[in-house]
Amino acid sequence: MDHEYVIEMNNIRKEFPGIVANDNITLQVKQGEIHALLGENGAGKSTLMNVLFGLYQPEAGQIRVRGEDVSITDPNVANRLGIGMVHQHFMLVQNFTVTENIILGSEPTAGAGTINLKKAEKDVKEISDRYGLRVDPKAKIEDISVGMQQRAEILKTLYRGADILIFDEPTGALTPPEIKELIQIMNNLIGEGKSIILITHKLKEILEVCDRCTVIRRGVGIGTVDVADSTETSLAEMMVGREVSFEVEKEPYQPKETVLSIKDLYVEDSRGVDAVEGLNLDVREGEIVGVAGVDGNGQTELVEALTGLRQAKKGTIHISGENTTSFKPRRVTQTGVGHIPQDRHKHGLVLDFTIGENMLLQTYYEHPFTKNGILNYNTIYEKAKELIEEFDVRTPHEKTMARALSGGNQQKAIIAREVDRSPKLLIAAQPTRGLDVGAIEFIHKKLIEERDKGRGILLVSLELEEVLNVSDRIAVIYEGEIVDIVEASETNEQELGLLMAGGKKEEGEPAT
Amino acid sequence: MSDMIRGRLMNILIPLIAIFLAFLAGAVIMLFSGNDPIQGYAALISGVVGEPYDFGETLMRMTPLIFSGLAVAFAFRTGLLNIGVEGQLIVGWFTSVFVGLIIDVPMIIHLPLAIAAGALAGALWGFVPGILKAKFEVHEVIVTIMMNYIAMHVVNSIIRGQLLESGQRTGFINPSASLESQFLSELTQFSRLHWGFFIAIGACIVMWFILWKTKRGFELRSVGYNKNASLYAGMNVKGNIVASMSISGAFAGVGGAMVGLGTYQYANILPSFTNIGFDGIAVALLGASTSLGIFLAAFLFGGLQQGANMMQAGAGVAPELVEIIIALIIFFVASGYIIRWALGRMFSKKEEK
C-alpha cells in the first residue's frame, strides 16, 4: 500500500449562485479510521459530501481515492469506487422487506427475470452477522424500529461492496441505547478494514468514536485535528469560532405557586391507542421541569393535549387554576401559555409567510395589529423588528420569507414570539433539535431567564444532557406515565437512563 | 436581496415565455397545415384591436373570465382546488336572471339585488363542498366536479319547466336589473360591452384587499400554506376552509350574473358547460393567482376567443387552432419548472462570464 489516505479531497471549491458553499476545503481520510466532519448547520458539510458522492461537481480541487486521481461524475461512479452513504433520512420503501430494500436496483436474478430472493436473504443475513448488525432480512421496514431501519441502510451500502462509508448525522433519530449500539457497529466495521466519515455536529460523539476530526466553518476548512488531543471546548471553538460555554449557569430555583397541574390524564394517539395513561404532574412558577424519556412514550400526545391540539380522553389539566382540559388552542394561548412546538416546520412556522408575519402568528388578530378586521402591517412589522432585535434573529429583513432563514434563526423567531407573549407557562418541546452549539446556548439561556422572571417552564426533550443541564426537576416519562420525579442536581445520566428504560425489553431485537 | 428580485422576475418571465412558446408552437402548426402564420396572427391581432367593436367584444368576453379566474385563485390561495367554478357560475347566472325577471323595483335596488342573488347562489354552491371537506374530509375536487353537473341539470330543468319563453331560453330581464350600457355599446360600435367590466375590475381589487389586507385573508393564506401551523396558532382551520370555498363560489356567482345581466339579458338551457369556469383555472394559473395577473390573463384569453373569428374569416385558419394555443399556454405554464430550470442555467452562465 503506497498511499496513506483512502480518500483525499484537496482544496475543494464549490459555488452556488451567490454563495461559496465550499472554499478551499481539504479532507484526508486514512485507511481504517473514523473521521469526523464537524461544522454547524449550513457550514457546508453536506455539500462537501455530495461532491464526494458525485451529486455535485466541484469548481476547483482534486479528489483522490486510494491514491489515484478520480473524477466522480455521478453516484454510480462513487458506488464503483466503494463509497457508500448512509443518509440522515432513510431511503427505504416502507412496505418492502429489509432484503427487498437492500437488493433494490441490483436484484440477483434466478433466470427468466425472476428474483432469487432466497440467495439474497442468505447474503444479507451473512453480512448482517459478520458486522453484528442484527437485522432480520425478512422483516418489513414499517414494522421495525428506527435503529434497525438505519442498520438496514448500513447493510445496503455493505451489500453493494462499499468500504468507505459516509454517515450523515446518524444519531439524530436514535434513542440512547440505539446510539450505543451504532457506535459498536462502527467499531466492528473498522475492525473489518472499512473506513468511515461521520458527519455530525455533536461533539460528544466525536470524542467517543472518532480518530481524527476535520472542522469547517461557513464553507471554509478550519483544519484537521487528532481527537485524542482535543476536548469538547476546543472542538466547539473551532466550529463556532469563539468560546462556548457548556455549563449552563443558573441560580438555585425558587418555585412559587403551581401554574400547571395535570391530574390522571389519558390521551389517545392518532391510532386511538392510549399514549398517555394516568399521568400526573405539577409545574410551579419559577421552575423548569424537564420531561425525560425515550421517544414515543407519550411526550408528543402530552404536549398536544396541554396546548389544545389534541383532546384529552380523561383527566384534567389546570393552568393557573383554570380548567383548560377542553380548551381549543387559541383559548389555551389566551390563558397565558407559550408553546415552542417540537416540529418547527410543521407547527411552528408558516414557511411561505415573511418572518415578520410569523412573529405575529399568535397575536395578529389583537389590537393594534388588526383594527376592524383590517391588518395594520405597519404595526405588525414594527413589532417584528423589535423582536428580531431583542432575540438576535439573523435575517436580512423582517419581510424575508421564513423559509430562507437557517434553522437556528427560525427557532429564535418562534421563541421570540412565544416568550414575548409573556405566558405564565412556557411549554418547550425539543427546543434545540437540529440546532448548532451557538443557538443551543442562546436558547438555554433564554429558558433560564424566563424561569428567573417567575414563569413556569415545561421542557420536553429527548436529549438527556439538555434535560439534565437545564431542568430544576426531572420527570421521567415511560409508557405514558410519569414514573419518577427527581431533583436535577441529585441525579445523573445513568440513573435517568435506567428510569427511562423502565425495565422494558429493548426494542429492535430480531424476531427469533 | 438579489435573490428576491430574481424570484420576482422569474414569476413574471415564466408566463410570458409560456405564452411565447405557445404562439411559436401555434405558428409551426399553421405552417404544417398550409397556412401563413404571420397572416394568421395578424388576423388574430386585428380581430382583437382592429375595430372598436372587436375590442369591446374582447372586454365583454374577458369579464366573466376575470371572475372565474378570481374564484379559482381565491380557493387556491387557501390550498383548495375549486373545479366547481363552472357550476357556481351557472347557478349565479340563473339566480341573478331569475331575480331580474320576477321582481320589478327601481334599478338602484334591483340591480344590486340581482347581482347579490347571483353571489349568494354561487356561495351556496361553494359552501357545500367546503363544509363536506371541513367536516368529513371529502375531497373538494370530486364534490365540485359533481356539483357542476347538478348545477347545469337543475338549472336546465327549472328553465325548461317553469321559465321557458322562446325556444331554449327565458324571457328578457327587466331593464332595471340590466347591466347594459348604451354609452359603452355606442363607444364600441354597438358591441355587447356592459358595465360588468368595471365591476370585474372592482372584484380584482376586492380579492387583493381581502387576501392581503384583512385578518380573514391572513388566516386564509395561512391555512393554505400550512394547516398544522394555523391550527397551532389558534385559527379555525375548518371555518376558513368553508369560508374560502363560499367566497370563491361568490366570485364565480357574480361572474355568472355578469353573463346573465350583462351579455345576454336572459338564461338559456345549456346543451353543455359554458367552459367559462374551466377557463378560469387556466386564467388563474397563468395569472399566478394574483389580481393583476388574472386581469391580464383574462384579457389574453378573451382576446384569443374573440380574435379566433377573424383568424378564420381573414386568414382561413381554423378557430380550433386558438383552442390549441390556449391548451399549449396552459401546458407551458404548467411546465414552468422546466422554464425556471432553463432560465436558472442561463442566469448562472451569465454570472460566470
What pLDDT score was predicted for residue A505? 33
Burial of A128 from C-beta contacts in 10 A (0-12 / 13-18 / 19+): buried
Contacts of B231 in chain A (CB under 8 A): 309, 329, 347
The predicted model gives A176-205 an average pLDDT of 88
Strands (E), A305-361: 314-319, 322-323, 337-340
Query: Which of B206, B218, B220 to mutate against chain A (most A CBs within 10 Å)?
Result: B218
Distance between CA atoms of residues A185 and A195, nearest Å: 12
Residue B151, C-beta contacts closer than 8 angstroms, at least 6 positions apart: B84, B86, B87, B88, B90, B91, B125
Burial string for B68-77 (b: 16+ CB within 10 Å, else e) reads bbbbbbbbbb
Query: Which of B2, B225, B351 faces A350 most closely, judged by CB atoms?
Result: B225
CA distance B227 to chain A (A): 8
What pLDDT score was predicted for residue B11? 77
Question: Chain A residue with minimal CA distance to B234?
Answer: A330
Question: Chain A residue with minimal CA distance to B346?
Answer: A17
Q: Which CATH architecture describes the domain A258-501?
A: 3-Layer(aba) Sandwich (3.40)
Give a three-class secondary structure readout of A108-151.
CECCCCCECHHHHHHHHHHHHHHCCCCCCCCCEHHHCCHHHHHH
pLDDT in tens, B194-226: 999 999 999 999 999 999 999 999 999 999 999
pLDDT interval class at A166 (50, 70, 90): very high
- Cell digits of residue A310: 389534541
What pLDDT score was predicted for residue A456? 94
Contacts of A328 in chain B (CB under 8 A): 234
Taking alpha carbons only, the member of B241, B244, B223, B224 closest to residue B233 is B223
Please say if the pLDDT value at position A508 is more than 70.
Answer: no
Beta strand A374-375 with A337-340 is unpaired
- Residue ranges of alpha helices (H) inside chain B are 2-32, 37-49, 52-77, 85-102, 107-136, 140-158, 182-187, 196-213, 215-225, 227-232, 237-257, 276-286, 291-315, 320-334, 336-352
Q: Do A375 and B231 touch (CB under 8 A)?
A: no
3-state SS class at B4: helix
Query: Would you say the CATH fold of A258-501 matches that of A5-240?
Result: yes
Angstrom distances, CA of residue A135 to CA of A85, A194, A507, B317: 18, 19, 12, 68
Q: Do A374 and B215 touch (CB under 8 A)?
A: yes
What pLDDT score was predicted for residue B15? 84
Query: Which of A18, A329, A357 faces B231 most closely, judged by CB atoms?
Result: A329
Q: Do A362 and B233 touch (CB under 8 A)?
A: yes
Identify the CATH homologous superfamily for domain A5-240: P-loop containing nucleotide triphosphate hydrolases (3.40.50.300)
B208: amino acid identity, one letter: W
What 8-state DSSP symbol labels residue A346? I
Name the one residue in this structure whose C-alpha cell is 417540537: A342
Query: Which of B218, B221, B351 faces A17 most closely, judged by CB atoms?
Result: B351
- Cell digits of residue A413: 423567531
Query: Which of A328, A375, A404 faces B214 most closely, judged by CB atoms?
Result: A375
What 8-state DSSP symbol labels residue B214? B
Query: Which of A341, A348, A373 faces B216 most closely, judged by CB atoms?
Result: A373
Taking alpha carbons only, the member of A355, A17, A398 closest to residue B6 is A17
Taking alpha carbons only, the member of B343, B329, B334, B303 closest to residue B22 is B329
What pLDDT score was predicted for residue A9? 94
pLDDT interval class at A386 (50, 70, 90): very high
Taking alpha carbons only, the member of B74, B57, B110, B133 closest to residue B252 is B74
A199: amino acid identity, one letter: I
A273: amino acid identity, one letter: V
Q: Where are the domains of chain B?
A: 34-317
**Contact by Cβ (8 Å): A433, A299:** no
Q: Where are the domains of chain A?
A: 5-240, 258-501
Interface of B with A (CB under 8 A): 1-4, 213-218, 221-222, 225-226, 228-235, 344, 347-348, 351
Instruction: Give percent above pLDDT 90 in chain A.
Output: 49
pLDDT in tens, A224-241: 999 999 988 888 888 888
pLDDT in tens, A50-100: 899 888 899 999 999 998 999 998 888 998 999 999 887 788 888 899 999
Distance between CA atoms of residues B155 and B260, nearest Å: 13
Contacts of A352 in chain B (CB under 8 A): 225-226
What pLDDT score was predicted for residue A10? 93
**Contact by Cβ (8 Å): B151, B121:** no
Verify cis geometry, omega within 30 degrees of 0, for the bond prior to A368: yes
Q: Do A347 and B2 touch (CB under 8 A)?
A: no
Please say if the pLDDT value at position A507 is more than 50.
Answer: no
Query: Which of B232, B238, B347 to mutate against chain A (most A CBs within 10 Å)?
Result: B232
H or E element, residue A389: helix A377-390
What pLDDT score was predicted for residue A511? 39
Query: Cβ atoms within 10 A of the Cβ of A36, count?
Result: 30
Please say if the pLDDT value at position A504 is more than 50.
Answer: no
Contacts of B351 in chain A (CB under 8 A): 17
Burial of B104 from C-beta contacts in 10 A (0-12 / 13-18 / 19+): exposed
Residue B66, C-beta contacts closer than 8 angstroms, at least 6 positions apart: B200, B201, B203, B204, B255, B283, B294, B295, B298
B295: amino acid identity, one letter: F
Please say if the pLDDT value at position A103 is more than 80.
Answer: yes
**CATH code of the region B34-317:** 1.10.3470
pLDDT in tens, A106-141: 777 777 778 888 888 998 999 988 888 888 899 888
Distance between CA atoms of residues A32 and A5, nearest Å: 10
Query: Which of A332, A350, A374 faces B226 most closely, judged by CB atoms?
Result: A350
Give a three-class secondary structure readout of A274-307.
EEEEEEEEEEECCCEEEEECCCCCCHHHHHHHHH
Beta strand A195-200 with A34-38 is parallel
- Cell digits of residue B219: 388566516
Euclidean distance between the first and the last CA atom of chain A, given in angstroms as a whole number: 43
Distance between CA atoms of residues B329 and B65, nearest Å: 16
Question: Chain A residue with minimal CA distance to B222?
Answer: A350
Query: Which of B3, B4, B229 faces A350 most closely, judged by CB atoms?
Result: B229
CA distance A381 to chain B (A): 14
In whole numbers, what is the pLDDT of chain A averaged over residues? 88
**Contact by Cβ (8 Å): A217, A240:** yes
- Per-residue pLDDT 10s for chain B (353 aa) are 455 666 677 778 888 888 888 889 889 988 888 888 898 889 889 989 888 999 999 999 999 999 999 999 999 999 999 999 999 999 999 999 999 999 989 999 999 999 999 999 999 999 999 999 999 999 999 999 999 999 999 999 999 998 888 888 998 999 998 998 899 989 988 899 999 999 999 999 999 999 999 999 999 999 999 999 999 999 999 999 999 999 999 999 999 999 999 999 999 999 999 999 999 999 998 898 999 999 999 999 999 889 888 888 888 888 788 888 878 887 887 777 677 777 777 766 555 44
pLDDT in tens, A429-453: 999 887 777 788 889 999 999 999 9
Which range (A241-255, A310-324, B69-83) has the least confidence? Answer: A241-255
What pLDDT score was predicted for residue B353? 43
- Cell digits of residue B274: 359554458
What 8-state DSSP symbol labels residue A352? T
